[in-house]
Amino acid sequence: MQKSSVIKAQAQKYLSGGNLDKALAEYEKLLAMDDVDPYDFVLAGDVQLKKGATDKALVLYGQAVDAYEKVGLYKNAAAIGKRVLRLDPSLCEMYKRLGRIRASEGLVTEAAQDFLKYHEIMLRNGDREGATEGLELACKAMPRDAALSEKLAKFYEEADRTADAARELARISQVMRDRGDEEKAASFYERALQLDAEALSMPVVEEESRTEEPAPEKSSAVPAEETIEAPGEVSATDEEEAKKDSPVEIPEEFRSGSINVKEKVRFRPPAIDIAEVLKQFKAQVDSKVGTDDYQCRYDLGVTYKEMGLFEEALNEFRVAAADDKQRAKAFEMAGLCHFEMNEYEEALEAFRRALQERTRQDEDYPGLCFNLGVTLEAMGRTEEALDTFKEVASINPEFPGLASKLLILGRQGGGTSEQIA
């Protein structure tokens, strides 16, 4: 059996020659191997996308997300998940997957945002059950967000799930109590009692089938080994002070701490010096890859970018840009890195330099032009962005995401930009 490196080299040769079918056939050989590199799914998906087979590309990108998750490369999985949603925003299940991926990294704020996007799409589609699930996941990601909990309780109440609504309000009342806001705490608890007082006295059994609770968000203020004190355990002095100072009558059940919110403490492995690991990795690469091996430098830059290491990726793309064959796509990838870093001026310059290497007849010209338009839009230069999107339409009116851009900028004179990666 051929080595994967040989197959990849042959695939790249076919790609350089514009033979997409033969390049895809080589990548399919890689995907048939027992030990598949997750990035091989991405490469095959990119070829399908160039062929115009978006549906097939989406399937391959989804398999890449699965493969990256399986080996614990969550940043890579999230990056490809974002690409899937840019190609087809209707695939709302990907928002839920992205939320779980980010939660696995401890990025609970970003996870909650993804779950809320899923909630909003489900709500627009008239799927109240799915919308409620999105809110539940968001609340699990950020269990101390009172606004989210209130919203979830409202959804429960509207669905006649008063017991669940009462328990959620009681839970957030405990959070308010931990914060020292006795007035809000009492208010939440009284509302819970009014909804279903009986539900508050019943023990809640966690369902094993539910999604695992995400790890707590990383914070330098709390040592990893520190245990979290169980809410509800207050001293007699604290309780007396609360009674004396609070202008609101607090129910006895609330004072006694009968609502007990348990926060799981997870083991955290020792911190890894990422900078040192990266330094060693780069040293190994430099020892094996010469500065004139432009294809390898470009591929390495793509790898760094997928890992979120944009500065390292830019260094590789700068080297690769010295080669005529790699220059256009190296500048394009540099532009994408700058965009991710919110460096829009630099992104604009990189995309323009990439376009200088291409003509309107080149296959990747519309994509470069579209990215240029997105960058102009992000900079607030809506008229220039609209003109750029119109140029894309004159070449490929079916380009993914183009119709919505033309509609938004044409009717409203601007809008929020889509992130590109």
User: Is 60 exceeded by the pLDDT of residue 224?
Assistant: no
Q: What is the mean pLDDT of residues 281-306?
A: 69
User: Is 60 exceeded by the pLDDT of residue 229?
Assistant: no
Per-residue pLDDT at 292: 59
pLDDT in tens, 347-379: 999 999 999 988 888 888 998 999 999 999 888
Q: 83, exposed or middle or buried, with CB in 10 Å at 0-12, 13-18, 19+? A: buried
Exposure string (b/e) for 221-250, b if CB count within 10 Å is 16 or more? eeeeeeeeeebbebeeeeeeebeeeeeeeb
Report all structural domains of the chain as residue ranges with CATH numbers, in order of start.
Answer: 1-91 (1.25.40.10), 144-204+232-262 (no CATH), 275-412 (1.25.40.10)
Per-residue pLDDT at 289: 52
Kindly report the pTM of this predicted structure. Answer: 0.46
pLDDT in tens, 102-120: 887 777 888 888 888 888 8
DSSP 93-155: HHHHHHHHHHHHTT-HHHHHHHHHHHHHHHHHTT-HHHHHHHHHHHHHHSTT-HHHHHHHHHH
Percentage of residues of the chain with pLDDT beyond 90: 8
User: Is 60 exceeded by the pLDDT of residue 207?
Assistant: no
pLDDT in tens, 67-94: 888 887 888 888 888 888 888 887 788 8
Interatomic CA distance for residues 333 and 14, integer angstroms: 21
CA atoms within 13 Å, Cβ hemisphere of 336: 23
pLDDT in tens, 11-48: 888 877 778 888 888 888 888 887 788 888 888 888 88
CB atoms within 10 A of CB 183: 13
Interatomic CA distance for residues 166 and 156, integer angstroms: 9
Interatomic CA distance for residues 212 and 208, integer angstroms: 9
Alpha helices, H only, 4-107: 4-16, 20-31, 38-50, 54-70, 74-87, 93-104
Give φ, ψ of 2 to 5 degrees.
Answer: -65, 150
Strand, helix or coil at 20? helix
CB atoms within 10 A of CB 306: 23
Per-residue pLDDT at 284: 54
Per-residue pLDDT at 369: 92
Contacts of 132 (CB under 8 A, 6+ apart): 119, 152, 155, 156, 159
- Comparing 277 with 73, the larger pLDDT belongs to 73
CB atoms within 10 A of CB 402: 19
